[in-house]
Copies of this chain bind each other. A is one copy, B any other.
């Protein structure tokens, strides 16, 4: 959580001449998002988020991300809407970086969502899946099953430094999961990272979905499996079936899951646990001590992965 690129008021002023959004009243770097620099901007007209894209976001992907947000907002999803400049551009440049301006969403993300919050977030995911239909662009999921092999190779030699037995777990889980990975599930645009950080609440209602920089085309049910991992484990990594039941049921009220999708949930959940285990482990092992972000503990996802590998039927998720 840091601001990587420092933007002066003078740079901001010059940037804002390209927009018709009022005069700035407040401009503060905010500690949000691990990939980009974000600023909170209040003007005489409204509040905005200014995002500068750092090296981890591929500029070639911006039309997908920004176009998706426009498409979703037009279809009723509460998400940041890119504010187009006076010349109609979705993005621009600032501080030597690609930059975009977004409408600001009120709301707070929860650290310890309860079952009702899980249900509201599950419903929001289904609405997102429905609303993304008809969006014209697509983006491959770079972190889907066929992208894990490279991370596995990079992490295996030092995995046991982090936890004894982790290399075996990863090697076995990777082989087993990819061998039975479901190929024919319904696909479309997914968020792919809908953690509690990325869902804003006002009281019990979802007021916004944010941080779409992992969005891509993949199986809808995979997106749901990410949420099972991110929302339904307690801080001691015990699985809370009340939460998963509420989350899945609320999802299904907006978008029904096929039998194939239901049956695939255990392997999808094991797969998404492996995906977050691998990226966290890679960042942990390759952490630049000068970086402004502290890496997250990969072991929490090793424990989730072990849980899903023991699941014998979707009933264990409350389905």
Give the interface of A toward B (CB within 8 A): 1-3, 8-12, 24-32, 40, 42, 104, 106-112, 201-202, 289-290, 292, 294
Contact = CB atoms under 8 A, between A and B. Distances in A.
Nearest to A203: B23
Contacts of A1: 2-3, 29
Contact of A290 (B11, B40, B289): B289
Contacts of A12: 108
A29 B294 CA distance: 15
Nearest to A39: B31
Contacts of A292: 2, 292, 294
A25 B289 contact: no
Contact of A112 (B3, B10, B112): B10
Contact of A108 (B3, B26, B29, B104): B26
Given A12-B108, A30-B30, A42-B106, 11 more contacts: A1-B29, A9-B108, A9-B110, A9-B111, A10-B110, A25-B202, A28-B32, A29-B30, A29-B31, A40-B40, A290-B294
A209 to B, nearest CB: 15
